[in-house]
Amino acid sequence: MIELGVKESVANWKATLIRSFQMAIVGFIIGYFWFITTGDPKYMVYILMAELIAFNRPRVAKEFSQMIRTAKIDVWMTRPRSLFYKFFGIFFGRSLVGLLISSIIVIPIAFLYYPPHLIYLPLFFMAFLVNYSISAIIGYLSFWVGDSRPYEFIVDKINFFFSGTLIPFEFLPTWLATITKSLPFQLVGYFPAKAMVGDFMPLLFLSGILWTTGLVATALIIEKIGVKKYEVVGG
């Protein structure tokens, strides 16, 4: 199933390549900005890793919302397994290709500033799962509200602000940093990026597993309820 997502990304190789280069450039510039501001090369690598995840985030909400609004979801509702499962491999395949190509460019650059701890690369899978689950939940809202794009927008912004991709938590006031550290968005930026610069937090990893499990379960439950509620007027 991942194969389909990979094949699709490879089929759109020009777009995949441009995006990957773009990610590398943007990540480098913002990383460099933080490096100059703080004087610490670790921040260069931190930002590069956080941007790597952010750029390859799965945009599930948009696709699910569109399918529900246009009733194209009917095709998938007549096939076994949950929507969550059916599309997981495809989105993962897409993200994987983007991640791999971007990494080929980004990781050597990172090594010039501070050697990233590549052993923590698998944490990117946790980040993907969290992003996928949250995005799926937003997409499922379309079963109730018709168009979940405004909510996707809001959650995207919250993710953007509170994942630590934009501003590392160390630069936030203590009270705000405490709030951000109690949300799951840190798992898609701050946590894996910090691990890559050698600050792996075992307790955060454990809570990450709980968060991830909880979000996946929530997504599946919401899907089940939404599918039951789904009604469409025929042509």
Partner 1 sequence: MPVIEVKNVRKALGGHPALKNVSFSVKKGEFIGIVGPNGSGKSTLLRSLVGIITPDEGTISILGSDPKKDRGYLNQVGVLFGNKSGLWPYVSVIYSLKYIGTLYKVKDKEKRIKKIAKDMEATYLLNRLPKNLSLGQRMKCELMATLIHDPKLIILDEPTIGLDIAAKGDFIKYLLHLQSEGKTIVLVSHSMGDMNNANRLIVTGNGQIVFNGTSKKLKSVVNYKVITLHLLKPLNGKYVVSTRLLKGAVIDDVLKIFSSKGIIDFEVRLPTIEDVLSELYRGMK
Partner 2 sequence: MKWLADRIILNIKSAYHFKKSFYTQVISMFLNNMIWLLLISLLFTQVSDIGGFNRTRYLVAYSYATLVYAITSISFGGVHRVWEYIVEGSLDRFMVTPKSPLLMALTARINVYALGDLTQAILILIFLKAPLRLLLFLPASFAIFLSFLVIVNSLYFFIEDITGQIHRQLWLTLLTFGMWPIMILPQPLKFFTYYIIPGGITFFYATENAYTGGWAPQLWLLAIIFPLIAGIMWKLGLKKYTSSNLGVNIND
List interacting residues with partner 1 (CB under 8 A).
1, 3-4, 7-8, 11-12, 71-72, 74-81, 86, 89-90, 228, 230-235
Among 157, 179, 225, 232, binds partner 2 (CB under 8 A): 157
d(CA 44, CA 159): 20
Q: How far is the CB of 7 from partner 1 (least distance, A)?
A: 5
Which residue, among 117, 115, 121, has the nearest Cα to 96 in the 3D structure?
121
Surface-to-core class of residue 184, CB atoms within 10 Å of its CB (0-12 exposed, 13-18 middle, 19+ buried): buried
Nearer to partner 1, 123 or 220 (CB): 220
Q: Which stretch binds partner 2 (CB under 8 A): 99-107, 121-129, 148-156, 187-195?
A: 148-156
188 contacts 48 by C-beta, under 8 angstroms: no
Nearer to partner 2, 32 or 230 (CB): 32
Q: How far is the CB of 27 from partner 2 (least distance, A)?
A: 10
226 contacts 144 by C-beta, under 8 angstroms: yes
Sorted by sequence, the CB contacts under 8 Å of residue 97 that are 6+ apart come out as 5, 6, 9, 10, 16
The dihedral region occupied by 57, where left means phi > 0, alpha psi between -120 and 50, and beta the remainder, is: beta
Which residue, among 120, 106, 122, 113, has the nearest Cα to 198 in the 3D structure?
120
Under the binding rule (CB under 8 A), the answer on residue 70 touching partner 2 is yes
The interface with partner 2 within residues 42-61 (CB under 8 A) comprises 55, 59
The single-letter code of the amino acid at 184 is: P
Tokens of 173: 């006031």
Torsional sign, CA 121, 123, 16, 165: negative
Which of partner 1, partner 2, none does residue 39 bind (CB under 5 to 8 Å by kind)?
A: none
Size of the site for partner 2 (CB under 8 A): 34
Under the binding rule (CB under 8 A), the answer on residue 36 touching partner 2 is yes
Q: How far is the CB of 51 from partner 1 (least distance, A)?
A: 26
Nearer to partner 1, 72 or 157 (CB): 72
- The SS3 assignment for 43 reads helix
Under the binding rule (CB under 8 A), the answer on residue 76 touching partner 2 is no
Which residue, among 200, 126, 193, has the nearest Cα to 163 in the 3D structure?
193
The interface with partner 2 within residues 6-25 (CB under 8 A) comprises 11-12, 14-15, 18-19, 22-23, 25
Residues that bind partner 2 (CB under 8 A): 11-12, 14-15, 18-19, 22-23, 25-26, 28-30, 32-33, 36-37, 55, 59, 66, 70, 72, 147, 150, 153-154, 157, 161, 166-167, 171-173, 176
